[in-house]
Amino acid sequence: MAMQQTSNQYVEIGLGNDRFALPIQEIHEIIKMQPIIEIPNTPTSLLGVINLRGNVIPIVNIHSYLGMPKVPDTKMNRIIIVNYEQSMVGIVADQVIQVTSYSQIEPLPYGEQHHDGRHANHVANVQGVLINIISMDQIL
């Protein structure tokens, strides 16, 4: 599956109390928090847009996609710019933990059939702590 090929490096981020990992090749860059311009009349899943060196980048409310409440902003917040289709989108991570690779990556037993499993069909097992591997293509 897509997860297992090429680079096996992941950027591990914290969302709420959970840890998630994004394949490093999907990530364009990680920037500090900056003001997000809301767009009226859009679903709550869209936080707004930012200006990234002259490009208008939409910022996605990843929390709502993953069905978790948004935690208050802290200094640890980062915007992660990921490649999405032909362009880019940003997500706000509560914190960026590390760049790492995992020795043990397992597919979830229920795979994509499970209605919650849509978001993460693999998990990394780090000494009993499960880290969801997510891919923007699957989430958005």
Q: Which residues bind other proteins (CB under 8 A)?
A: 35, 37-46, 49-51, 54-58, 60, 64-65, 67, 84-87, 89, 140
Q: Evaluate the CA torsion angle 15, 123, 26, 138 in order and state its sign.
A: negative
- The least distance separating other proteins from the CB of residue 54, rounded to whole angstroms, comes to 6
CB neighbour class for 10 (10 Å; exposed up to 12, middle 13-18, buried from 19): buried
- The residue (of 50 and 105) whose beta carbon lies closer to other proteins is 50
Helices (H), the chain: 62-65, 136-139
- The least distance separating other proteins from the CB of residue 71, rounded to whole angstroms, comes to 17
- The least distance separating other proteins from the CB of residue 31, rounded to whole angstroms, comes to 14
- The least distance separating other proteins from the CB of residue 139, rounded to whole angstroms, comes to 11
Which backbone phi and psi does 101 adopt, to 5 degrees?
Answer: -130, 155
- The residue (of 35 and 128) whose beta carbon lies closer to other proteins is 35
